[in-house]
């Protein structure tokens, strides 16, 4: 049943991105409306699939791909949620939908190790899940930052080719980029807080490097959001700081693990 729901979600997102691409290329309001309808249908089924992991079982079995799928759902839902606004971000779905499609294909086709969420392990599970979700959302923000950098480069060099014409407007991508950074920053804050509260001894469990790098990343994103609010930072400044924050998170999540387990032959469990 779950795989069928994911297949319906995948088909809806594929239909949505085809109609949205045609709408942007041809300026068709009808095709844009159809794209919105397919996106909404996909989000509803995607949310149903996620509910089967997180809400329905007594002891949920959640894998890394399930968490990435949740991040993809958030990424698709944000542009959709802005439709009632005067300046909506739905055209940015041209980037969000293909990313979600790739993640769904992986979720359907790949069997990933899963984590059982029990009542006894709820505290540390909250930390683990929020860490991965924060990393997932912010890494998707990094993809958007690269698209912003690409479009900005082409516009500065007057390269108005087919790619630039069919991609969403630069301002639209930037707005969505900051929405994703805000969401990822909020979840990263929860992750850091729960880590500091629930993990007994950072030094004994060899997590101090991971924690420090995560805090540095948090500070980079906090500074970026402050600069956006107070100074109107955008463009290349926003892209560089976003990628710098993600680089720190990559070092935190994967660099620390590599050094700890491969070079030092240790585990964070002690």
Q: pLDDT tens across 211-225, in order?
A: 788 889 999 999 999
Q: Which of 61-65, 181-185, 198-202 has the highest mean pLDDT?
A: 181-185
Residue 247 has pLDDT above 80, yes or no: yes
Helix 64-81, helix 29-54: angle, nearest 10 = 140
* pLDDT average, residue stretch 103-119: 74
Residue 256 has pLDDT above 70, yes or no: no
Position 126 scores a pLDDT of 75
Residue 205 has pLDDT above 60, yes or no: no
Contact call for residues 72 and 99 (beta carbons, < 8 A): yes
Three-class HEC string of 8-40 = HHHHHHHHHHHHHHHHHHHCCHHHHHHHHHHHH
pLDDT band at 151 (very low <50, low <70, confident <90, very high): confident
Residue 165 has pLDDT above 70, yes or no: no
Looking at per-residue pLDDT, the higher value among 128 and 154 belongs to 154
Residue 15 has pLDDT above 70, yes or no: yes
3 state DSSP class of 42? helix
Position 264 scores a pLDDT of 40
* d(C-alpha 261, C-alpha 270), whole Å: 11
Looking at per-residue pLDDT, the higher value among 243 and 62 belongs to 243
Residue 3 has pLDDT above 90, yes or no: no
* pLDDT average, residue stretch 134-145: 81
Exposed, middle or buried: residue 43 (CB in 10 Å: 0-12, 13-18, 19+)? buried
* pLDDT average, residue stretch 154-181: 74
Mean pLDDT (the chain, rounded): 79
Position 182 scores a pLDDT of 92
Residue 82 has pLDDT above 70, yes or no: yes
Looking at per-residue pLDDT, the higher value among 81 and 41 belongs to 41
State percent of the chain over pLDDT 90: 23
Looking at per-residue pLDDT, the higher value among 46 and 122 belongs to 46
Contact call for residues 73 and 43 (beta carbons, < 8 A): yes
Helix 122-156, helix 235-250: angle, nearest 10 = 140
Residue 18 has pLDDT above 80, yes or no: yes
């Amino acid at each position: 049943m779950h795989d069928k729901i994911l297949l319906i979600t995948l088909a809806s997102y594929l239909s949505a991105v085809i109609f949205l691409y045609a709408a942007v290329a041809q300026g068709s309001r009808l095709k844009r409306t159809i794209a919105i309808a397919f996106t909404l249908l996909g989000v509803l089924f995607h949310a149903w699939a996620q509910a089967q992991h997180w809400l329905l079982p007594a002891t949920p079995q959640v894998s890394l791909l399930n968490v990435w799928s949740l991040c993809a759902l958030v990424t698709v839902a944000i542009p959709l949620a802005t439709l009632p606004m005067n300046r909506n971000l739905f055209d940015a779905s041209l980037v969000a939908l293909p990313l979600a499609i790739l993640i769904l294909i992986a979720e359907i086709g790949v069997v990933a190790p899963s984590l059982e969420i029990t009542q006894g392990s709820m505290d540390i599970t909250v930390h683990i899940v929020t860490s991965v979700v924060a990393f997932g959302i912010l890494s998707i923000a990094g993809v958007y930052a690269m698209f912003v950098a690409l479009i900005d480069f082409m516009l500065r060099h007057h390269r108005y080719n087919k790619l630039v014409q069919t991609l969403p407007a630069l301002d639209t991508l930037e707005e969505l980029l900051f929405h994703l950074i805000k969401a990822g920053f909020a979840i990263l804050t929860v992750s850091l807080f729960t880590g500091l509260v629930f993990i007994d001894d950072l030094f004994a469990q060899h997590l101090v490097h991971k924690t420090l790098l995560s805090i540095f990343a948090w500070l980079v994103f906090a500074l970026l959001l402050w600069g956006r609010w107070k100074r109107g930072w955008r463009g290349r400044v926003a892209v560089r700081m976003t990628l710098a924050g993600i680089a720190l998170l990559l070092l935190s999540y994967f660099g620390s693990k590599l050094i700890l387990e491969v070079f030092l032959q240790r585990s964070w469990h002690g």
